[in-house]
């Protein structure tokens, strides 16, 4: 039910950047993010989280925008992780084996990385006609914390995100979630936190995209009891906060709901 070494696990310091994204302009986005990080990261952090497709905006123009795994954005992520001595994460368009992926990168300061390919592709936006769906659940570890990676539309599918055993302590979601469906975003994030007894950290973008779709942010961190740790609507925001492992364990001890959860197998 819990990590036996939990008393040795420290708080996790997380920096989120709820960014305005320049439509399909990789260089300008990387320049803007670099500038904001250099002026805004004032203290040591463990993790910097960027939105979905942070270098392009949520685009279906994969043929022109996709990069290889040794491309400029991956290099930028590695350089940034090394500079701030922390993990940097967010998703971008990757071409691999003649397929395109909406791929979330988990970049370590050493230049090593793991990745998660978005499982649920947004059919209403024809994402499924451009990108290939990922098949693997990815849980990474940072300072003893187990962190489940997810991208935007995944938020709507609780079976995919079910926290059995539990297998993770934080559900980390990067998104490009439009303002017109923000009521769903605001309802689903606390629901995922409560039902999975985990923190949920969800980072959205702000501003209009190239199709005049408005994004209003509402990035947030919700704890396992449904309490708000961080919340920011509307404006571009770079903010650092901490989450507490002892608080998480106490909630799981006091309300041991997960032990009564249904057991099932997910059929791909």
Catalytically active residues, by annotation: 52, 118, 152
3-state secondary structure the chain: CCCCCHHHCCCEEEEEEECECCCCCHHHHHHHHHHHHHHHCCCCCCEEECCCCCCCCCCCCHHHHCECCCCHHHHHHHHHHHHHCCEEEEEEEEEECCEEEEEEEEECCCCCEEEEECCCCCHHHCHHHHCCCCCCCCEEEECCEEEEEEEHHHHHCCCCCCCCCCCCCEEEEECCCCHHHHHHHHHHHHHHHHHHCCEEEEECCEEECCCCCEEEEEEEEECCCCCEEEEEECCCEEEEEEECHHHHHHHHHHCCHHHHCCCCCCCC
The number of CA neighbours under 13 Å toward the Cβ of 32 is 19
Whether the CB-CB separation of 166 and 148 falls below 8 Å is answered with no
Whether the CB-CB separation of 164 and 261 falls below 8 Å is answered with yes
């Amino acid at each position: 039910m819990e990590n036996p070494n939990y008393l040795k696990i420290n708080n996790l310091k997380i920096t989120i950047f709820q960014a305005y994204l320049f439509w399909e302009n990789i260089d300008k986005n990387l320049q803007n993010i670099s500038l904001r990080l250099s002026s805004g990261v004032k203290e040591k952090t463990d993790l910097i989280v960027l939105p979905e497709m942070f270098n392009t905006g949520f685009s279906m123009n994969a043929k022109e925008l996709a990069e290889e795994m040794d491309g400029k954005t991956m290099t930028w992520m590695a350089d940034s992780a090394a500079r701030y001595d922390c993990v940097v994460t967010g998703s971008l368009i990757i071409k691999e084996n003649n397929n395109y992926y909406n791929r979330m990168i988990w970049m370590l300061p050493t230049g090593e990385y793991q990745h998660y390919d978005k499982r649920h592709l947004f059919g209403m936006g024809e994402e499924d006609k451009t990108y290939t769906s990922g098949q693997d659940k990815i849980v990474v570890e940072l300072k003893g914390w187990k962190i489940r990676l997810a991208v935007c539309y995944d938020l709507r599918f609780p079976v995919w995100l079910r926290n059995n055993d539990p297998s993770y302590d934080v559900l980390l979601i990067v998104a490009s979630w439009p303002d017109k469906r923000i009521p769903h975003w605001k309802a689903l994030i606390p629901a995922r936190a409560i039902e999975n007894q985990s923190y949920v950290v969800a980072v959205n973008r702000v501003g209009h995209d190239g199709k005049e779709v408005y994004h209003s942010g509402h990035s947030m961190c919700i704890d396992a009891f449904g309490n708000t740790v961080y919340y920011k609507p509307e404006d571009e925001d770079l903010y650092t906060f901490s989450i507490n492992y002892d608080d998480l364990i106490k909630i799981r001890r006091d309300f041991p709901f997960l032990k009564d959860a249904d057991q099932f197998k997910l059929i791909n």
